[in-house]
Amino acid sequence: MKKLIFSLFLSTLFLMACQQSDRKNSNSNTVITDNKNNIAMVMYFHGKRRCPTCVAVGEITKSTLENYFKEEMQQGKIRFSDINIDDKQYENLVSEYQINWNALLILTNTKDGKKVEDLTELAFQHARTSPDELESAIKARLYIFLNQ
């Protein structure tokens, strides 16, 4: 019985740690590194080791973009970056967006300004239990961006 309780405790602790995202000003405007106008960058930050939920967030995000925004991606209007935060080459990007753990961000640069939307909490809440919710959220934000 003790082993079962201990296992459940460790599993819960691992999942909670995997879902945390400690960023300052996550809803504030942040500078986009690409200076072209009318670009949306969908950035999925993750560590080297990923739990099933982490993997699902990445897969759903990528498939949503490929299934609904393929033309816009080919035109360069929407870009996707799968970023391993443990990789030294992304150190500046991780620092710029204050990423401490997994994160799903949509960065937009339009005539109205630059904006960062943090979908991390929503993504980890729905990726495994209701992936359609995550897909819908990504599509909604990108359709708003494209129709500006």
CA-to-CA distance for 30 and 41, rounded, in angstroms? 12
Length of the chain: 148
Res. 134: pLDDT tops 50: yes
Quick one: what percent of the chain has pLDDT higher than 70?
75
pLDDT score for 95: 77
- Of 117, 131, 138, 126, nearest to 19 (Cα)? 126
Q: What is the pTM of this model?
A: 0.71
CA-to-CA distance for 101 and 20, rounded, in angstroms? 7
- Phi and psi at residue 38, in whole multiples of 5°? 55, 60
Confidence of residue 1 (pLDDT cuts 50, 70, 90): low
- Structure-token pair, residue 138: 């990504």
Confidence of residue 85 (pLDDT cuts 50, 70, 90): confident
Res. 18: pLDDT tops 80: no
- Mean pLDDT over each residue of the chain, to the nearest integer: 77
Contact 21, 118 (CB under 8 A): yes
More confident call, 109 vs 9: 109
For the chain, the 3-state helix, strand and coil shares in percent, each to the nearest 5, are 50, 20, 30
The structural domains of the chain, ordered by start, are: 2-146 (3.40.30.10)
Confidence of residue 112 (pLDDT cuts 50, 70, 90): confident
pLDDT score for 37: 66
Spatial CB neighbours of 27, under 8 Å, sequence gap ≥ 6: 116, 117, 118
